[in-house]
Structure formats: C-alpha cells, structure tokens
Chains A and B, each alone.
Chain A
Amino acid sequence: EDQVTQSPEALRLQEGESSSLNCSYTVSGLRGLFWYRQDPGKGPEFLFTLYSAGEEKEKERLKATLTKKESFLHITAPKPEDSATYLCAVLGRGSTLGRLYFGRGTQLTVWP
C-alpha cells in the first residue's frame, strides 16, 4: 500500500524565519505528488502538483521540490498568515485517479 510520512508534526517559526517541511513517500509508480494547505475547519486548499523527480514549483513564499523518495515544501520568510496545516498526498500507478494517500500533515505556526 502507498504510504506518506510527513515531518515534523508541528513547526513554530518566527516571522521571516525560513524553513522546510518534509514528505517521504513509498508508492508503486508515482503519478503525482500533491501539496495542500488546510486551515482549521476548512477543506484542503490545493497548492502544487509535482510529477517527476527534479521538478520544482513556486507560489509566493512557497517552493515545492521532488526527489525519487521525498518532497520538500520550502517556506521563505514566512508571515503569520502562512500558519496552517500543510498536507502531502500521493497518487500511485496502482490506484484509481481519485484515490490519494495523505500524510498526517505538518502544523505550521508563524508568530510575529
């Protein structure tokens, strides 16, 4: 079965202090790796899709990278509004298109 492990479980950063979140995965043929942001009581909000090792995508202060075994979400100079839970999910070749395997998430808190 496909598996996703995210670390750390929780991360506290001071505003402006850059850091990275990790997503390690085991999948039988990666079709896509997804990053989502989730605010309390809301549904996950799509951030990025990565398809192959070496791929990188950026959006504002966020940059996602992918290797054959893990993905990183780099947060540069974070602001308090970046506080949220960040979820990683994978879609493997052995799965139907709608079945994603999710990690437990990293709860990020950015304080002023």
Chain B
Amino acid sequence: KAGVTQTPRYLIKTRGQQVTLSCSPISGHRSVSWYQQTPGQGLQFLFEYFSETQRNKGNFPGRFSGRQFSNSRSEMNVSTLELGDSALYLCASSPPTGEKGIGYTFGSGTRLTVV
C-alpha cells in the first residue's frame, strides 16, 4: 500500500513569492491534514480537508490556503512568503471514521526555505 506522497521534497523561494505544495493521501483515505513544523513552535495544525471541504482551520494568517480535489489529493498555497514561513510542511492522511488502530500517516514533508 503506497504511503502519503508529498511534492516537492525541497523548495527555495524568495520573500514575496508564492508557493504551492502537493499531497497525495493513501488510497481510500478522504481526510487530509496539513501541519507546519519549525524548531521554535513544533508541529502546528494548518487545516483539514474532507471530501473537498475544509473541515477545520488552525490559527494561521489568510496567506495560507488549501484545497482538496475529488481524488482526495490536496494542495496548500502560501502567498507573499515571509522569512518566518521557512519550515517543514507535513501532510497527514486519515482513515475513514471508525477504523481504529491505524493512526494518522504522515508524508515525508516539503522543506520550504524562504530567502
């Protein structure tokens, strides 16, 4: 069973630019969540999508947005990049409700560096 695939793995952008990150969940998983990981703040929740609808959103500015497609693949976009946006962006895929014992599977992440 293929895992969660995130592309690209590494990205270097300049302040003020925008960036789009992609996440393909495990086949059959319809819930995708995004997290930002930094040394100072740890793992922080960005947003969650289920069946193409944003179900929850974390405490991040409006520059951070996302969407989910009908095949459950998800993208997140960050506009007007700031130096502080440099982080590891992680995507997690969740099994259908009621499927206990599986846990949330994370991708390898996209390392974004803003210069």
Contacts and interface: CB of A to CB of B under 8 A. Distances in A.
Interface of A: 34, 36, 41-46, 48-49, 51, 87, 89, 95-105
Contact of B43 (A46, A96, A98, A102): A102
Given A98-B50, A99-B48, A100-B45, 6 more contacts: A42-B109, A43-B90, A46-B105, A96-B50, A97-B48, A99-B45
A89 B45 CA distance: 12
Contacts of B43: 44, 87, 89, 102
Given A43-B90, A46-B103, A97 B111 contact: no
Most interface-central of B56, B103, B107 (chain A CB within 10 A): B103
B100 to A, nearest CB: 7
> B-side binding surface: helix, strand, loop or mixed?
strand
Interface residues of B, number: 32
A87 B106 CA distance: 13
Contacts of B42: 102-105
A48 B32 CA distance: 20
Interface string B17-35: 0000000000000011101
Most interface-central of A98, A100, A101 (chain B CB within 10 A): A98
Interface string B41-53: 0111100111000
